[in-house]
Structure 1
Amino acid sequence: MRELNELRRGRGLDAADLHQRIGPCLRAACAIAETDPPAAARQKLVLRLTELCGRLPPDLKLAALAALGLHEEAAGEFLDRRISWLASVLDRDPRTARRRIDLAFRRLGELLGAPAPRGDSHPLAGWYVESMKAMLRLDRTPTELQDERRIVAEADELDELVLPVSVPAGPGCDPVPDITADALYGGEIVEARQVSASHAQFVLRLPSPLRLGQRHEYGIRFTPKRTGLRPYYAMTPLRRCEEFSVRVRFDRAAPPSRVWRLNGVPGRVVDDGVDSGDALTVNRVGEVALEFHDLRQGLSYGLQWSFDREGSPDTGTRNSGTEPGLAQS
């Protein structure tokens, strides 16, 4: 608590002497080494505290972010002004806002005692996925995937995201995936790249550059024009991804005979169509919904299905995580 209270003085985590104000307990909790330069120490501290603030109830999360200078609407102000801002948002007096901050910091202190999350093992940097929701519509032509994410910036001035999508073709299919992407909110598509016959990338420009630790939400609709897609949807995170949920709506006129869960399997297992044995039930409106937490980079999560009848519709999409896209591999 003493070390956290030291951080909130002045400009909070925007302070020029921040690296000199990080106490030994915070250094240990945030894996900050004595040899880390000031910029690296600040990055580790901001990302760890941002993550832990996200676990607090909404009012305590707001109080902690404002006190530390991590909230975009309160960043850069001195502590008294940040407390006044918090009081106005909470519709309370400044004394109540201070008590809310104290409570939030006590909760942060408890969370800081837990082990730090594993680091991002992929060389890509700049942001990670805090939560992702995917909705795959197989009951319409063409197939449509809606991808909504909340990300956290791991660097200052994050301006663009590169979003990969893979749509592997079945035998005898057109080798060109012909995927389109429409930004629903949170940015605009400024470039589409055809990397290979099965893989495309889209560049999403954000409304404004993000600061280190700042959260941002966006939604994109991907539409593959190819027919005869493979029967699965998998998200394979290339970056850190904390939460992933997917809902697939099948065509009720031609439902699959079997659906099974893909819970952290190698990509080759997905390509080979191996039944995991973890069977899923399609509900009466033709949907299957799943949730995954703390995903491992490089493994695939989602669902796969099969049809008894020859010629039944096969559709598959792989989403490449944290770089998500649509058929993402």
Structure 2
Amino acid sequence: MWVFDLTFLMGLALAVYVLLTPARRRWMAVLGGLALASPGLRWLTTVFGFPIRLQLSAWVVAILQTLGADATVSGNLIRLNGVDFAIDPACMGLQMTGLSMLAGLFLVVHLENRTRMQLSFGWLVLVAVGTVALLILTNLLRILTLVVFRIAPEDPLHDLVGLACLSLYLLVPLTWGLQRLYSRVGKPLPAHSGRVWVRLAAVYGVLVLAGFGVIQRSQPVTPVAVDVPSGYVSRQLDHGFTQYSKTGSLVYVKPVRTAYSAEHSPLVCWKGSGYVFGAVAEKVIDGHRIYVGSLQRGRERLYTAWWFTNGVQQTIGQFDFRWRMLRGEPAFALVNVTVARPADLAKTVREWY
């Protein structure tokens, strides 16, 4: 897709720029580390992208309500003056995270080449933190603009607004701040810098990535005991997943391998099956919080809900169930209930909760 292609092209351009300039001694190891760490970055996006999107939606509505607008939020669905606006899972806001970080890295490398000065590791960490803060602000203002002016995802202005916000609220202040930072706290580049750093960064990057993958895959899948209502037919799937089905209902129980493994989110799995998510929201059924959403593929429409359970505790919080697993509590599984009729969703959830 377009934003993905733009991010790829910018990453390629940055690699070429670094290779053709003196910065390659210091920064090629960093670029290599980012390439090696890309699975981890995808993990972070998979795990925390959805909660972040819900929080941004809530903040946008809070701002609109402060300004006196008639606005409400239900999950990723914002209603302004009676008009609904869904924050799409594939929205440009989350996709431009990589683009923003690449832009920040390009500015740092360019200023280092131009000034022959460098920032200490501590300052570079602060620059990364500042870039993330600006990115959150940029996404917040972008969503606010799209909602206020009712710019739908299929409108060409949707991507243009995203790029305009990226330039105005992230690139401009980042460029201004970095120029002053280099002039005030930058230190001259030492001669022959980077050789030891290159080797250490490459070795550490490979070891960390390999260790993360090996440890995660070496852990056995722990089955989670769930009470199966009568009438369901079970089927074992790969990765320790179990499918339960009966007429009008389909349930997946997907164990989470470790506290740091990415779960197989319905937001990803159903999309891979050709479905498009509509509104997604938190809902309370009998005192239990769950996520609910609608799915559509052509004329077919389904209704789905999901949560995490270890047979004792139920939650929808990513930090909650992962922290419990780290503390030694039984492993959790994702339970995803899907029905053909909206009236059956609450009933089916109660059966499985």
Class of the TM-score when normalised by the shorter of the 2 chains? under 0.3
Q: Which has the higher contact order (CA 8 A, sep 6+)?
A: 1
> TM-score, normalization: structure 2?
0.23
> TM-score, normalization: structure 1?
0.24
More strand by share: 1
More helix by share: 2
